[in-house]
Amino acid sequence: MLAIVALLLHPFLLIGLVLGSLYFYLTATFDFWKCRGVPYKKPTVLVGNFGPLLLFRQSLPEGVKEMYQWFKDERFFGVFRVRSPALILRDPDLVKSICIKDFSCFPYRGIPINNEDPLNEHLFHLEGRKWKSLRSKLTPAFSSGKLKRMFYLLVECCEELQKLISASCAADRTVEVRELATKFTIDVIGSCAFGIQINALTNEESEFHKAAKKLSRPSYKATLWRMLRTAMPRLYKLLGVQVIDPSVTHFFKDVVSQVISQRESNGVRRHDFMDLLLDLKNKGAVENETGSAQICSDEDAQAAKEIELDENAIAAQAFVFFAAGYETSSNTIAFCLYELALNQEIQEKTRREIRNAIKPLGGKLTYDTVQEMKYLDMVILETLRKYPSAPLLSRKCAFKYQIPNSKVELPAGMRVIIPIYGFHHDPNYYPNPAKFDPERFTEENKRTRHPNTYLPFGEGPRNCIGMRFALLQIKIGIISFLKDHQVEICDKSIVPIKFSRRSLVTTSEKGFWLAITPVS
């Protein structure tokens, strides 16, 4: 009888053993911060402190802001991503230490990649000497001189956007401005990065437009893995998860292969990003404005030998230029127009500056004229303050690190999270943070704030290499809308904005519907 009972209980004992082992594994790290005397939020099994985000109950900006407020009197505090401990910073001086002063200890983003996907080998993901080598090679490609030579490509796209805005007004004054902005940024980046006239503004069935939709609207599964891969890197690599749709990978590789073949066989130069990548491939360096090879320091020259740009590497850089640039810029344009629709006095002041700047030139845009629009600069900076594209950024310890002015030592491999959205909405740095106020970014007001409380493009050596291009693209997009048109809130406008819970960038859940009318 006892033998029969033992046999019946055997499966339950096995299940209990498995569940017990799993529970122990998932909770074994939960005393990590307690042992080090670091304040922390009690985690939950399976999700740690990120449950609302992992279950898509909360948007990333909202989640970051909530976490930032957990320990208002602390310089830093601990959290858990599933079972992995991470440190969240609240002190801008610590941000400066991590990103700039002690960068040698935090050179990594720590995003695991699967080598099976060639498009993962781009500047954003690379680490170590490969990253340093590629960064040193690509930095000259984003100089003001290079952007100035590309400017005519942006003007061509601007003219097409203005035509479409006028046509949209004639058909229906209610417009989803993010959709128009997305088509514009796809055309700009397609032209500047790939040397292709995509015509996304007039052709919604273009392959680039289809690829963009797949990138900006990933499945819930892909989005979940993007959030989990830094918390569970071994499982991510073991399962060979691909967060980029394979069809998108094949598309970009084919496009780049065709462009390279055409450029090298025809000897055509457009002064675009693809020309610069081909210079790196064939000459090993980007030419400066005088036509000679860019002069690098001995350290950069040594680093540059660590990586060679083959066709796959070129495809990866062109891909990240597209993926990182079109959606973030189009969202910023849309958020800016949304705020200007709510703040008509600011909109009118911005339009007046635009018109006054281009009037002496017969209404034409030049690179220097756009750069001189200082109030437009302030409007965009405030948009990026209130709606930073990346709600957070993170760095990973390369070796043990003692947090300045504390007894806490972080082990190698520890992830440090910088809550950008939290800093940008902290009333200690930005009084009445919900208010849209470009005057925060006068030169005088900027000097009163800690510089590391404003981080829309990151900070330090791993900041956004394409920042100047992104700002230029955003300016041209906003000028296209405001020069001859007024944007206003309409019945379909959602006020206040509801953030998407599925996106890892700051964007609206339901779009940006505004009324657009011509102005004389």
Backbone φ and ψ of 187, nearest 5°: -65, -45
The superfamily CATH assigns to domain 31-518 is: Cytochrome P450 (1.10.630.10)
The CA distance from 279 to 240, in Å, is 34
DSSP 295: P
321/473 Cα distance (integer angstroms):
13
DSSP state of 505: S
Contact call for residues 201 and 164 (beta carbons, < 8 A): yes
DSSP secondary structure string, 297-348?
Answer: -HHHHHHHTT----HHHHHHHHHHHHHHHHHHHHHHHHHHHHHHHH-HHHHH
Report the chain's terminal Cα–Cα distance, integer Å. 96
Helix (H) or strand (E) holding 155: helix 144-171
Ranges of beta strands (E only) in 121-244 are 174-176
Do the bridges between strand 401-402 and strand 409-410 make them parallel or antiparallel, or are there none, so unpaired? antiparallel
Question: Reduced to 3 states, what is the DSSP secondary structure of residue 154?
Answer: helix
The per-residue pLDDT string of the chain (520 residues; one tens digit each, 9 = 90 and over) reads 555 555 555 666 667 776 676 666 667 788 889 989 999 998 888 888 888 888 888 999 999 999 999 999 999 999 998 888 999 999 999 999 999 999 999 988 877 666 666 677 777 777 888 888 888 888 888 888 888 888 988 998 898 899 888 887 776 778 899 989 988 998 888 888 777 766 666 666 677 777 777 666 666 566 665 666 666 666 666 666 666 677 777 788 888 888 888 887 777 777 778 887 888 777 766 555 545 444 445 554 554 455 667 777 888 888 888 878 888 999 999 999 999 999 999 999 999 999 999 998 888 899 999 999 999 999 999 999 999 999 999 999 999 999 999 999 999 989 999 999 999 999 999 999 999 999 999 999 999 999 999 999 999 999 988 899 999 999 999 999 999 999 999 989 988 999 998 888 899 988 899 999 998 7
Give the strand pairing for 415-418 and 84-89: parallel
Query: What is the C-alpha separation between 492 and 489, in angstroms, rounded?
Result: 8
d(CA 88, CA 403): 12
Q: What is the pLDDT of residue 379?
A: 98
DSSP readout, 252-286?
HHHHHHHHHHHHHHH----SSHHHHHHHHHHHSS-
Check residue 9 and give its pLDDT: 53
Residue type at 325 in one-letter notation: G
What distance in Å separates the CA atoms of residue 338 and residue 478, rounded to the nearest whole number?
11
The single residue listed with the structure tokens 């006054």 is 356
Cα 54 to Cα 63, 313, 501: the distances in Å are 10, 32, 10
Q: Residue 306 has which token pair?
A: 């660590």
* The pLDDT value given to residue 520: 78
For the chain, how big is the Rg over CA atoms in Å?
25
Within 8 A by CB and 6+ apart from 425, the residues are 65, 68, 386, 433, 434
Q: What are phi and psi of 135, to 5 degrees?
A: -60, -45
Name the region of 426 (left: φ>0; alpha: ψ -120 to 50; beta: rest).
beta
* 8-state DSSP, 47: T
Measured in whole angstroms, how far is the alpha carbon of residue 59 from the centre of its chain?
Answer: 16
CA atoms of 270 and 149, how far apart (whole Å)? 9
Q: How far apart are CA 309 and CA 317, in angstroms?
A: 10
> Cα 272 from chain centroid?
22
Compute the residue count for the chain: 520
What local confidence, expressed as pLDDT, does residue 133 receive? 83
Residue 180 buriedness (CB in 10 A; 0-12 / 13-18 / 19+): buried
**Can you name the residues that pair with 416 across neighbouring β-strands?**
87, 395
Q: What is the pTM of this model?
A: 0.89
For residue 343, the tally of other CB atoms under 10 A from its CB is 17
